Amino acid sequence: MASGLSTRSAAVLLAGVVLAWGTNWPVTKLIVQDVPPLWATAIRCMIASATLAPMLWIQGAFIVPRRGDLPVVFCTSILHLTVFSALIAAGLQFVPAGRAIVLGYTTPLWVAIGAAMFLSEDITRRRALGIVFGLAGLAVIFNPQTLDWRDGNALFGSALILVAAFCWAGNIVYVRAHHWISTPFQLVFWQVLLAAVLLSATALIVEGPPHIAWNARLLALLLFSGTVCTAFANWAMTMVNRSLPAVTTSLCLLATPLLGIFCATLILNEPLEPSLFLAMTLIIGGIALGTIAGPLRAKAA
């Protein structure tokens, strides 16, 4: 594969990733208005796998996964690409995209807790404070004054997205512990392909054969989600991770949920709720504290 990019090129790619992931939330909400959530996620993975295969082949990175990497292929495919994506798509049927984004991006908080439990990673004072900030943000979201607890659909949708965040966190904790043989980008095609198969089989059983009223708008949304938000974003993140410091990348990615909320406002005409921004500020602040804590501790050591 090609060597690392220049700082400027890597920054441009990172901005592209933030844009792709930020817009994917409102785009997904638009898609599930016309396509059942499991089929919507399955089709997105089909498009992504069809895009990733030639990208890997052109770069000379297309491989068959080795035995030692099969656990991470299955874990990422099942927990992240299948369960997380399907639960997010299902939850977006009942929850505004802005609220869903905030709930989805609590994932790093659960990663910090899971890493302490299963990987023996220390919870420093900064990281503990970050977790407290994040949980305070979560309390703002579920405050009865901002969420109608009598609305069963809103509670159900919020619960789905929170469970999705737990699943993504579980996958990240496992990925941290995995001993890699191939690179993450070399394996992503197989992860997406397996997710497409699992989602299609599940959708066929749960939702039945798809009855989709195809039109140019829906096709464009699915192509954007599959090619840009999934295939391109995965490739770009691989290049960025090889070219920029991890702390820089992690902190810049915190712009993703903010962009997602603004995109939801522009694309879906969702109101900008003050409570949502308060929750997002607390959660992003908590994640930033936790992100900075690790490098500071390593430097001190």
Residue 67 has pLDDT above 70, yes or no: yes
Structure tokens at 181: 């043989």
CB atoms within 10 A of CB 151: 12
Q: What is the Cα–Cα distance from 151 to 148, expressed in whole angstroms?
A: 6
* Phi, psi dihedrals of residue 33, rounded to the nearest 5°: -75, -20
Instruction: Write down the mean pLDDT value for the chain.
Output: 90
Residue 241 has pLDDT above 90, yes or no: no
Q: What is the Cα–Cα distance from 98 to 102, expressed in whole angstroms?
A: 7
- Split at pLDDT 50, 70, 90, the class of 294 is low
Q: Are 141 and 279 in contact (CB under 8 A)?
A: yes
Predicted TM-score of the model (pTM): 0.89
Domain ranges within the chain, ordered by starting residue: 7-300
pLDDT, tens digit (0-9, with 9 covering 90-100), for 78-130: 999 999 999 999 999 999 999 999 999 999 899 989 999 999 888 888 889 99
Q: What is the Cα–Cα distance from 80 to 234, expressed in whole angstroms?
A: 13
- Split at pLDDT 50, 70, 90, the class of 299 is very low
Q: What is the Cα–Cα distance from 284 to 182, expressed in whole angstroms?
A: 32
Nearest to 251 by CA among 124, 112, 108, 119: 108
Structure tokens at 207: 């939702």
In a 10 Å sphere around its CB, with 0-12 CB exposed, 13-18 middle and 19+ buried, how is residue 67 labelled? exposed
pLDDT, tens digit (0-9, with 9 covering 90-100), for 162-199: 999 999 999 999 998 999 899 888 999 999 999 999 99
- What is the b/e burial string over 20-35, where b = at least 16 CB atoms within 10 angstroms of the residue's CB? bbbbbbbbbbbbbeeb
Structure tokens at 194: 């397996």
Q: Where are the alpha helices (DSSP H) in 96-232?
A: 97-104, 107-118, 125-141, 152-177, 184-206, 216-223
Residue 5 DSSP class? P
Q: What is the Cα–Cα distance from 119 to 181, expressed in whole angstroms?
A: 20
- Placement of tokens 């208005």 in the chain: 33
Q: What is the pLDDT of residue 301?
A: 40
Q: What is the pLDDT of residue 41?
A: 97
Q: What is the pLDDT of residue 50?
A: 97
